[in-house]
Structure 1
Amino acid sequence: MGSGLDRPLRLDQGLRPEACRPIFRQFGRLHLPGVLVQEDAIALHRAIVGAEGWRRTVHVEDGRDAELSIEEIEELGPEQRAAFEKGLHDMARDSFRYVFDSIRVSALAQFDQPVDPALVAIWRFMNSETFLGFVRELTGDDRPAYCDMMATRYLPGHFLTAHDDEAPGKNRLYAYVLNLTARWRADWGGILMFLDDEDHVAEGYVPAFNALNIFKVPQRHAVSLVAPFAGDQRISLTGWIRSAPPAPGES
């Protein structure tokens, strides 16, 4: 697989998903540290950081995304880039918007599009009985059958506004974030925030290396704006665990 990943990933043998199940069932979400063998998490981080094919992903409107290559972003002059970023932030004021870098691994792999082989191998691990069986045991739900995946990279100014992940016909059961951020501080932003009915932050998860965040869909949440002084990249694998794979032609 390269980048030190020359064998399948390994879940940490000390995990006891059945012991976490009551907490997950009570709150509908869980932050689980140390989910992978540490050396595998380090190699996985290296593979993602070194992967090619990153694109700036922006939610425009009406469920549509726009994607720009990183090269296109870098070609913008300082004034053009500032205007572009201001426009994104203005649109996010009162509506669902997001901006971050991504590699849509599962969508690319399904249609035989170019994608880093190491990331394809990671996606296959997430769809193995090892991982899906772990999710079933953790949740007490025997329906998980497929895991889609994209690599995400949040840089200063990136964000994800409030939403609940519900999408009829997509068969989404649970959302997940496998954190691979090397170091992070809460005041750098990028916090996965769960919101209550009055828009208070009921709970927040700071990015933590080799930690799995998993939560039931639908559930209202957001990722806070990454501060301009953030000292690292917020790196993760994320997606939805579904009861069935997507239909042909569907992502």
Structure 2
Amino acid sequence: MIPDHPDFGIDPSLDGGRLAPIFSRFGRLHLPGFLREPGAKALVAALSGADGWTMSTMGGGSTVDIPVEAFTAADEAARTALIASAHGEARSGFHYLFHSLRISDLVESGAPVPPALAALYEWLNGEAFLSFARALSGDPELAYVDAQATRYLPGHYLNEHDDEKPGAGRRLAYVLNLTPTWRPSWGGLLGFLDADGHVAEAYTPAFNALNLFRVPQPHMVSQVAAFAGGPRLSITGWIRTGR
């Protein structure tokens, strides 16, 4: 049985100090099998059964959050108009469309959150994970990790951007992939862009792999294909110098 309050831990084969030279050279890493298996499975169960998802997108340059239930209940014309507007803005600028569950905000406000997600947030801000991130990145100032769950369905995307936000203390970005099965042809790839705008490297959202990369760094999540076999699930955020 998968526990509601799992004990998270990093796979012992992964050593932050040993990986540091690779991260220093490339500024990013894909770490398969990051968590011990019971913890990863508990997170999949929590995300699959979670309520309270919002459709996160943009309108006129500002964040727009719509409860998924409200979007689903709207008439077809309203849904079609919203998607058409999103695509119009996405065509020529930064834009995104996916489902979100803001774990940090929920935990800090005392709102209901699946126990496994609350436990992960606590663990990410504990010494075990922060020490790993400091050793790997060579950055001793890392002190806080925020977290949100994301769910990409067919048609969802995240356009190119670099995560830079002056004053926010963002040093590293991370994506903990929690989709049990995924094929590269389904889209949803985390792509890193070079100076010429080419995709220099892309990571498939492999189950229980941690993608970690330095901020700022141009990247994107490619649109999920209409024929994808399920939702692309992950927990993502920034490792920062403070709250």
Using structure 1 for the length normalisation, give the TM-score. 0.92
Q: For 1:91-170, what aligned pairs fall within 5 Å after superposition? A: 91-170=89-168
Corresponding residue for 1:14?
A: 13
Deviations 1:10-54 (A, max 9, x none): 211121222211111001000000111112211111111111111
Match of 2:67 among 60, 65, 69: 69
Instruction: State the match for 1:203 in structure 2.
Output: 201
**Deviation at residue 120 of structure 1 after TM alignment:** 1.5
* Corresponding residue of 2:55: 56
Match of 2:3? 4
Q: Identify the residue that residue 44 of structure 2 maps to in structure 1.
A: 45
Structure 1, unaligned stretches of length 5 or more?
246-251
Is the CA contact (8 Å cut-off) linking 2:2 and 2:41 kept in structure 1? Answer: no
Structure 1 residues 135, 188: closer, same or farther in 2, change over 3 A? same
Partner SS, residue 95 of structure 1: coil
TM-score normalised according to structure 2 size:
0.95
Query: Structure 2, unaligned stretches of length 5 or more?
Result: none
Q: Is the partner of 2:188 in helix, strand or coil? A: coil
Task: Give the aligned partner of residue 187 of structure 2.
Answer: 189
Quote the RMSD (CA, aligned, Å): 1.4
Select between 173-182 and 78-87 the one with higher mean Cα deviation: 78-87
Q: 1:184-224: per-residue Cα shift (whole Å, max 9, x none)?
A: 11111111010111110010001000000000000000100
Following TM superposition, by how much is the alpha carbon of 1:3 offset from its aligned partner in structure 2, in angstroms? Answer: 5.5
Matched residues, number = 243
For 1:73 and 1:3, the matched residues in 2 are separated by 32
* d(CA) in 1 for partners of 2:24, 2:74: 47
- Does the aligned pair in 2 maintain the 1:5–1:44 contact within 8 Å? no
Identity in percent: 48
Determine the structure 2 residue equivalent to 1:85. 83
Maintained 8 Å contact 1:191/1:205? yes
Q: Which runs of 4+ in 1 moved over 3 A?
A: none
